[in-house]
Structure 1
Amino acid sequence: MVQITDFAVESWMDAYETKCKYNIAETCCASISIDQLRGLSEDKNREIFDTSKVLNYGAIRGSEQLRNNLARLYSAKVSNPLSPDLILTTPGAIQANYLTAYALVGPGDHVICHYPTYQSLYEVPKQLGADVSLWKAAPSNNWIPSIDDLTALIQPNTKLIIINNPNNPTGAVLPKSFLQQLIDIASAKNITILSDEVYRPLFHSISPIDKDFPPSLLSMGYANVIVTGSMSKAYSLAGIRIGWIASRSASLIEAIASARHYTTISVSHFDEAIAAYALHPSTVHNLLARNVQLAKTNLALLEKFVIKNEDEVEWVKPVAGTTAFIKVSREGRPVDAVDFCKKLLEKTGVLFVPGSEAFGSEWKGYVRVGFVNQTSVVKEGLDEASRFVRRSLEDVALAE
């Protein structure tokens, strides 16, 4: 029997997200309805899906319209356009990441994973029998790991390096110059890189004209790269469960496509049609503009919360994505994050995620905040959290 470690962050959300008043743990940009999506489109008469279409399995590897729209986005500002044939759709990015590991690693392989990050990125390779090393980042370096540490972690059997850019839970980005160093190291040893880019392109605190603005790893010239993405985070459509896998390597795509037959066959017609509509040129720019502005507005509220509680709260301000990793202390000592989050929820209805529970026991006192929900929810929730810190922090246990 496969040994499955509890998926801590999802277990926490499963237990509490329907019981809170202020969900500031959610990692999606505030979700929208189909009617709201249509309202963002510049072409209100364009059909979202054809209800006369026969509901067979459809296009096995993903609808032509959706893969064309994705290929267009990945081909922007690059000299070598990406073929739609090098894209596979999946039921969410979590399936995309699982399939990549399932197709590429197993017993006898070594995997290096950027950390802290979403737990499945390193736990699934372990479950498949691979040896996994964590490539650890620290707040002292703005949550950017060391290239020297990566070099030291590489073994003769290293098969895959996994990064998450922008990062969950920290909101940090790995800059372009750093990504180039990563590619130089991986290409010299023919190591495949998986880049989980589900929070791309939600860049709220770094400009595309910045010389170190991080492009998709897919556009940096190394063929042995796989990127995964999703409609859930930056595109506000978690309910349609659409993700994807893209690579410039036909052999990698074919290996994953072969594995995908065992788990997926095809993805829902309706879900793919909604995703294609959202990513169409008449819609996608307004949708992203809405979400980037929402992120900027709400990040300003979160920064006020940190400043107001500066004796108890510290952070590295996030650059992209929807999450921040915040450390809560009392009299200079980190609190027990689980006790903090449970008592905060009980007394105020505010939901955070305890970092020491969901992202590694070493993150004592850390909580993950998802700040790109509806602005009213974030503002009211943070006001309640401030009152809790001022009035009830003495009741919270300290980390051991």
Structure 2
Amino acid sequence: MKLPRFGVEEWLNVHEKSAIYDIAGVSIDSLTLDELFDLTGTDAQAFFKELAHKKLNYGWIEGSPQFKQAAASLYDHIKPENILQTNGATGANMLVLYALVEAGDHVISLYPSYQQLYDIPRSLGAKVDFWQIREELNWLPDLDELRQLIKPSTKMICINNANNPTGAVMDEPYLKELVEIAKSCDAYILSDEVYHSFSDKKVPAIADLYDKGVSVNSLSKTYSLPGIRVGWVAANRQVTDLLKDYRDYTMICAGVFDDMVASLALDHRDKILERNQKIVSRNLTILQEWVASEEMAELIAPVHVSTSFVKLKVNLDIEDFCLKLLQDYGVLVVPGNRFDIEGHVRIGYCCSTEILKEGLRRLSQCLHN
């Protein structure tokens, strides 16, 4: 099993600590514990008293009953026993691919998307075909192209919805058509759903639409808690039972403290979502106003999702430009070549408003200098 370097994560690992204005990350402005307690009306003293009396053993291996119930309530047709807690969505994707994909399988992956979704299947010996996103389709892929890629032997279709890096969203009619295509060859659909759309467009989970749909999610992006590293898989009972066997090889548990924080957040998700909807709406307006005033930038707006993909009119290779932007102006974005698309940058616009405004101002300075 040989994996290439993870382009986006490698870039962030090397550069994010040196940035003054980090507009590369795509979580919605991360919460502190104090902010989480205030937002949810939690008595901090009571929370820590409960934690202090808990044994720091392995805890609930698949996630506590409270966590599994709260995560299951996000879906229409998923029961708590069909939720498996993981080490973030990264751990969830790894678990599903490790368990379901074998050498010689045919896998179709949305491209570009999160790099796990195509490079892990390839490392396992699968034949992977790319289902390309299209700028002319507002960064969605063409379903007719998928029909041409499908084979009777296709084992899995991998998507992330909303898309990373573009923020494009497959809505309910689109997903239902995708499911019909998958049914034609009895393929699984693995859907990384960590990016929540705050628009009015309905975006159901793939696990609710399709019996062989596997939904992956986490607390990192939508719920502003990447620091606790908690995610989950939602799937039918047959898939969940299979994943349990493989999960023993990939992780034991997420941890007692992490489970407590995750359960608290999901139990009060309405408060967090209300807070984060305001951040997305406010900051997306700032980003769009900047693009409208900046002659050297273009944007197909994300569907109220925390990631955006901005086209820049620069003569340099985009990675060289981004290095100059960081070194001379202190601003971090992700160069589009890390997604195999030149001339674009990923901007995580749901950071603090002050950082976003100053980061965009300095980005304009760099563009014009």
TM range (shorter): over 0.9
Tell me the distance in 2 between the aligned counterparts of 1:353 and 1:267.
Answer: 29
- Counterpart for residue 78 of structure 1: none
- Counterpart for residue 397 of structure 1: none
% identical aligned pairs: 40
1:278–1:284 CA contact under 8 A, matched in 2: yes
Letter in 2 for 1:378: L
Letter in 2 for 1:359: F
Tell me the distance in 1 between the aligned counterparts of 2:79 and 2:171.
Answer: 26
- Counterpart for residue 24 of structure 2: 25
Task: List aligned pairs for 1:291-306, cutoff 5 A.
Answer: 291-306=276-291
Tell me the distance in 1 between the aligned counterparts of 2:353 and 2:230.
Answer: 25
Tell me the distance in 2 between the aligned counterparts of 1:268 and 1:43.
Answer: 20
Is structure 2 residue 302 aligned with structure 1 residue 318? yes
Task: List aligned pairs for 1:90-239, cutoff 5 A.
Answer: 90-200=86-196, 203-204=197-198, 206-207=199-200, 210=201, 213-220=202-209, 222-239=210-227
3-state DSSP of counterpart to 1:10: helix
- Counterpart for residue 11 of structure 1: 10
Tell me the distance in 1 between the aligned counterparts of 2:51 and 2:308.
Answer: 40
Letter in 2 for 1:307: A
Tell me the distance in 2 between the aligned counterparts of 1:90 and 1:367.
Answer: 30
1:165–1:197 CA contact under 8 A, matched in 2: yes
Task: Give 1:119 deviation, angstroms.
Answer: 1.0
Is there any run of 5+ residues in structure 2 with no aligned partner, and where?
none
Is there any run of 5+ residues in structure 1 with no aligned partner, and where?
76-80, 393-400
Provide Cα deviations, 1:61-81, integer angstroms capped at 9, x if missing partner. Answer: 111110110111213xxxxx4
3-state DSSP of counterpart to 2:75: helix
- Structure with higher helix content: 2
- Counterpart for residue 339 of structure 2: 359
3-state DSSP of counterpart to 1:215: coil
- Counterpart for residue 268 of structure 1: 255
- Counterpart for residue 264 of structure 2: 277
Tell me the distance in 2 between the aligned counterparts of 1:321 and 1:261.
Answer: 33
Is structure 2 residue 232 aligned with structure 1 residue 250? no
2:134–2:142 CA contact under 8 A, matched in 1: no
Tell me the distance in 2 between the aligned counterparts of 1:131 and 1:62.
Answer: 34
Task: Give 1:85 deviation, angstroms.
Answer: 0.3
Tell me the distance in 2 between the aligned counterparts of 1:31 and 1:234.
Answer: 10
- Counterpart for residue 350 of structure 1: 331
Letter in 2 for 1:380: E
Task: Give 1:245 deviation, angstroms.
Answer: 0.3
| TM-score, length basis structure 2 | 0.96
1:28–1:236 CA contact under 8 A, matched in 2: yes
Letter in 2 for 1:308: S
Q: Give the count of matched residue pairs.
A: 367
Tell me the distance in 2 between the aligned counterparts of 1:165 and 1:270.
Answer: 29
Q: Which deviates further from its counterpart, 138-147 or 56-65?
A: 56-65
Task: Give 1:43 deviation, angstroms.
Answer: 4.8
Tell me the distance in 2 between the aligned counterparts of 1:340 and 1:328.
Answer: 10
Provide Cα deviations, 1:314-366, integer angstroms capped at 9, x if missing partner. Answer: 12111132111111124xxx64110110011111100010111x111xx1111
Q: Which deviates further from its counterpart, 148-157 or 166-175?
A: 148-157
